[in-house]
Structure 1
Amino acid sequence: MKTKSIALGLLMALSVTSVTFAQQNSGMAGSGSTNMVGKESKSAFDRMNQKGAAAVSAIKPTSAKLSSADQDLMMQVAKGGMMQLEVSKIAVQSASSDEVKQLAQAEVQEQTGLSAKLKEIADAKGVTLPSSPDAETQAMVTKMQGLSGADFDKMYVQESGVKGHEKLDAVMSQVKSSASDSNLKDVAKAAHPLVKTHLKVAKEVVSKMSGGSTSGGSK
């Protein structure tokens, strides 16, 4: 009887623990504290980023020379991407929200891949792209370095997440509609969907902030 009592007690304890664990997991899933980026699950967001990176990586550069108009478009894409990359590197280190960190990390990965592909294409065509951030980017970096906590998160998501992607969205649309070079059109076709995704997610994060909370909390 004593053995049966001990076994029954263990079963009851395990049952209570399992229910409690399930409730905790349910609560976490509902709040999306570390598993959501905007309204996307972290896993779905990761899949979108991987798909975009693969599409960019698959582009095969040609040696066809660029027109002056196409060179200008390439420079716009490169400069916009460099700004996104530089400020996102800071956000990965300095954001106080896990959700903002995830957004920044995805942006670093996207722009690192896009920058490498643009350079590959430029080299094949004999074009020299900027190798360092311009004055506007440097000013933004300096401003961000003076902020911390929620103020930093808000500025990063609004300036890079929303405004930065709105600019890239417009440039990518222009490339798709007016560029004559096939490589540039391929870049826009591959990268534009992810630019739109990051813009949408950034707007969702801003909406959460406006509602008085950022998913992920503070460090």
Structure 2
Amino acid sequence: MKTKSLALGFLTVLSVTSLSLAQQNSGMTNTGSTNMVGKESKSEFDRQNKKGAAAVSAISAGNAKLSSADQDLMMQVAKGGMMQLEVSKAALQKTSNNEVRELAQAEVDEQTGLSAKLKEIASAKGVTLPSEPDAETQAMVAKMQGMSGMELDRMYVQESGVNGHEKLDKVMSMVKSNASDPALKDVAKAAHPLVKTHLKVSKEVLNKMAGSSGMGSK
């Protein structure tokens, strides 16, 4: 009877341990299950996104003509934003990772609002912005369409979340420093904090992916 009791006890411990490991592995393959986005709580991430959107929406376009230098800066903002918007839409269609989905949705919301404000400013100042993605963006979206799972998630977070935001970070800094048009400077001032937030959170999500991959390969 003792032997039978010990055996049952061992099986119970083994079963509980296996369940615990399975839950941990599940959390690693589907990051974001703890209601976090990177190291930010989802609620705080949402709050920052809404704050950034409100700041951009409140900008007054004005009707003063843009200098050629300011037009070039505006085109850089529009081009970078359109790339972020299109690749984020592609990620939303295919990802099953909660944190990647939160990032992509936040990016779609941010860039949709930013695009609308840029169009408003451009219309007021007689500037024509690009109406469709450039070849680089189209190629990246096409590449993503052929991916799935972790491969897709990593590419999106690396290319859009990190690389894309690093480029936008530099562009926004240039606009704040060099633009002479008040509306254009206001766009950079309003959008830059959210660009920095998305960059930071994207790096955190990418680090989680690297950690999960390393633990899974042991």
Partner of 1:138: 138
Q: Secondary structure at the match of 1:120?
A: helix
Between the aligned partners of 2:180 and 2:145, the Cα distance in structure 1 is 40
| Mapping of residues 189-200 of structure 1, within 5 Å | 189-200=189-200
Partner of 1:70: 70
Shift of 1:206: 0.6
State whether structure 2 residue 203 is matched by structure 1 residue 203.
yes
Maintained 8 Å contact 1:34/1:99 = no
Partner of 1:113: 113
Shift of 1:155: 0.1
Between the aligned partners of 1:141 and 1:156, the Cα distance in structure 2 is 10
Between the aligned partners of 2:176 and 2:68, the Cα distance in structure 1 is 16
Partner of 1:54: 54
Q: Which amino acid aligns with 1:160?
A: S
Shift of 1:32: 5.3
Partner of 1:36: 36
Shift of 1:212: 1.5
Partner of 2:157: 157
Cα RMSD for the two superposed structures: 1.6
Shift of 1:96: 2.3
Q: Which amino acid aligns with 2:161?
A: G
Between the aligned partners of 1:61 and 1:159, the Cα distance in structure 2 is 31
Q: Which amino acid aligns with 2:95?
A: A
Maintained 8 Å contact 2:81/2:111 = yes
| Unpaired runs of at least 5, structure 1 | 1-27, 214-219
Provide the TM-score with structure 2 as the length reference. 0.83
Sort the Cα spacing of 1:179 and 1:88 in 2 relative to 1 into closer, same or farther, 3 A: same
Q: Which amino acid aligns with 2:80?
A: G
Shift of 1:92: 1.1
Provide the TM-score with structure 1 as the length reference. 0.82
Percent identity between matched residues is: 80
| Unpaired runs of at least 5, structure 2 | 1-26, 214-218
Partner of 2:10: none
Between the aligned partners of 2:185 and 2:197, the Cα distance in structure 1 is 19
Q: Secondary structure at the match of 2:65?
A: coil
Moved over 6 A (4+): none
Q: Which amino acid aligns with 1:154?
A: R
Between the aligned partners of 1:114 and 1:182, the Cα distance in structure 2 is 16
What are the superposed Cα offsets for residues 152-186 of structure 1, whole Å, 9 maximum, x if unpaired?
00000000000000000000000000000001100
Shift of 1:34: 4.5
Partner of 1:124: 124
Q: Aligned pair count?
A: 186
